[in-house]
Structure 1
């Protein structure tokens, strides 16, 4: 349950972090779309993959805790995996949004 609860904010971080890259990689497709709603849908379809991967990764990391022989060690491993996934997403987000705003 704890892994599921923490998976949502980590997935949101990864979704927000991947928006600039999605815009950059698919700008030619975006330019052909007729309205803002279609653009938003395209970007959402592109950012759901990294967000979904982070969501699944946190769930898998919670298995380190759930099936650990030593619950304290399993919890520590879960926290390290959770913090690492969140930190990498946050750093990539800072870098990608900074790159987008400073271009």
Structure 2
């Protein structure tokens, strides 16, 4: 069984989701994402792809405008993938924050 870790930014983003969005994300992760991690084949509807601006970071589509970014981390249990959740929300999570 895969293990998971949540970065602080993901936790803040997740808290902003509606209850329905949060339920949908959890369902997609448990029913579609975890089986793909286990057998190495993700369903095409998840649209797992690398984030161009961040090598080693992947994007997961969990709703029509629902995205989450993640990366593989060091295994916590030998032979089981470890996922680090980075961001979650709409496609807007890919817009860089305003800066000077």
Q: TM-score, normalised by structure 1?
A: 0.32
Higher strand share: 2
Q: TM-score, normalised by structure 2?
A: 0.33
Q: Considering only CA atoms, is the larger Rg found in Structure 1 or Structure 2?
A: 1
Higher relative contact order structure (alpha carbons within 8 Å, sequence separation ≥ 6): 1
